[in-house]
Amino acid sequence: MHKKWQFLCTQHQPDGSSTIEQLGVPCLLQQVNPNGGQRYNFVTGELVSIDNSTPPSAVYGKIFALWQLAGGVKSGWGRPLADEQDLPGGGRCSVFEGGHIHWVGGVAVPTLAEDCNAAHRPTGQAASWNRMPPHFQRKWTYLSTITHPLQKKSIVQLLGPPSLQLKNNPASLGGQSFHFAGGYLISLSKPPPSVLPTRPPRSAAPPHLARTSQNNLKLWLDDDDTFLDMNPGTPNRMSIVLTSGPGSCPPKDQENIDNIEPFAVYGTILRFWEKKGGLDSKFGRPICDERDLPGGGRCGAFEGGHIHYHHTDTARECLPRMCTAPPPPGASYAGSPQMQATSPMDLHATRRQRAGSYVDMDASTKHTKGVGFLMCGCKNGGQ
């Protein structure tokens, strides 16, 4: 740590100030990271290492402030992998295990790794000290780039720092939940315990699925369709394996592969949902992220109904058929509210009836009307 501090004494920022001025004076002794390595605290920054043999990297200034708001080394960003560096065209970039943070025009901005144009972009998977699976971490990183239109804060700021480890949802529901100080990430299916195949047939990943999920996330990083596994012991792996496209079933050897992104519940909608019983209520699990309502306000869609609020802290229930929110993007892709064939339909039907909606199944198209679930129209003899 001391050697790195001495080196930073010779480094200067674009405004002419030294890096150690940006860090400020030391304020705490050296600490052990919960996810490996060590860190040394300063007033406005930290020196952080990923293990005891790797030189630490410096985080400071506006980037440090944003990183700390999300939980620092415990957040989905994890630990820094390199010192701050210049961006082409101006600005600065800090590379973390779970994503990048840019400083542009005096403002710290979260950035997905594949959208960064910095010269030095080391990669690494954040150690799962809190058992956040790779697809949960990937979703968290994406949410860091989204600003809530009413709160004017990023979604991860509203979620807050991680609070508890990953938990299984009630057995009657399935899926998993990751708890933050101000909300949850909740999935609809439980990932398999085994390591996923790293290179399935190319036919399993058609080119049009290079970015696929409700939020158009890039769920693997290789240009040649090389699939990445979910083994937390494998370095440089942060992605999940996808199944086949709309209107078809996954190959037999991938039927149990988890490819459904988790969805966020927080703020006003969270408070109403928890008051009604949370996962154990008639609402159950979220089936998409919060959406804007025409004319203002927000909508949270759940298995058993919708929760709305309009420019106030008071939320109310809304019947799905009465909701005016636009459908979530990519609704025809696996992982969307319309593609939950693995969930028990009798449970969903019961919840929809209790919520006052209706179900009208068309046997030829396998669409449920009024709620927006799509049963998997399997081909080649699949069911």
Largest CA-CA distance found in the chain, in angstroms, rounded: 71
Q: In one letter, which amino acid is 269?
A: I
Contact 12, 19 (CB under 8 A): yes
Per-residue pLDDT for the chain (383 aa), expressed as one digit of tens each?
777 877 777 787 777 777 888 888 888 778 888 878 899 999 889 999 988 888 899 999 999 999 998 888 888 888 999 999 999 988 999 999 888 999 998 899 998 888 888 888 887 655 555 567 778 888 998 999 999 998 888 999 899 888 877 888 998 888 889 999 999 999 986 433 332 333 333 333 333 333 344 454 543 333 333 333 333 333 332 232 323 222 323 333 333 335 578 999 999 999 999 999 999 999 999 999 999 999 889 999 999 999 999 877 789 999 998 999 987 654 432 333 333 333 333 343 444 443 333 233 233 333 333 333 332 333 333 33
Whole-angstrom Cα distance, residue 75 to residue 317?
Answer: 32
Contact 292, 300 (CB under 8 A): no
Q: For residue 341, what are its two tokens?
A: 């064939």
What pLDDT does residue 127 have?
53
Contact 312, 322 (CB under 8 A): no
**DSSP tally for the chain: helices H, then strands E:** 7, 18
Q: In one letter, which amino acid is 275?
A: K
Alpha carbon distance, N-terminus to C-terminus of the chain: 59
Q: In one letter, which amino acid is 81?
A: L
Q: Using CB atoms within 10 A of its CB, is residue 22 exposed (0-12), middle (13-18) or buried (19+)?
A: buried
Whole-angstrom Cα distance, residue 220 to residue 209?
Answer: 10
> Cα angle at 160 between 182 and 311, to 5 degrees?
60
Report CA-CA distances (Å) from 242 to 139, 200, 212, 319: 15, 10, 9, 32
What pLDDT does residue 125 have?
59
**Strand partners of residue 59:** 46
Burial 106-121 (b: 16+ CB within 10 A, else e): eebbbbebeebebeee
What pLDDT does residue 143 have?
93
Q: Which residue in 272, 339, 351 sits closest to 305, CA to CA?
A: 351
Long-range contacts formed by 5-13: CB under 8 A, 24+ apart:
5/47, 8/58, 11/83
**Which residue spans within 209-321 are E strands per DSSP?**
263-266, 291-292, 298-302, 305-309, 315-318
Q: Which residue in 86, 70, 207 sits closest to 141, CA to CA?
A: 70
| Helix, strand, or coil (residue 213) | coil
Q: Which residue in 296, 378, 290, 268 sits closest to 334, CA to CA?
A: 378
Burial 292-314 (b: 16+ CB within 10 A, else e): ebeeebbbbbbbbbbbbbeeeee
**Strand partners of residue 38:** 32
Whole-angstrom Cα distance, residue 380 to residue 203?
Answer: 15
Q: Could you count the other beta carbons within 10 Å of the beta carbon of residue 3?
A: 9
Q: Which residue in 56, 94, 71, 4 sits closest to 48, CA to CA?
A: 56
What pLDDT does residue 268 have?
95
What pLDDT does residue 101 have?
94
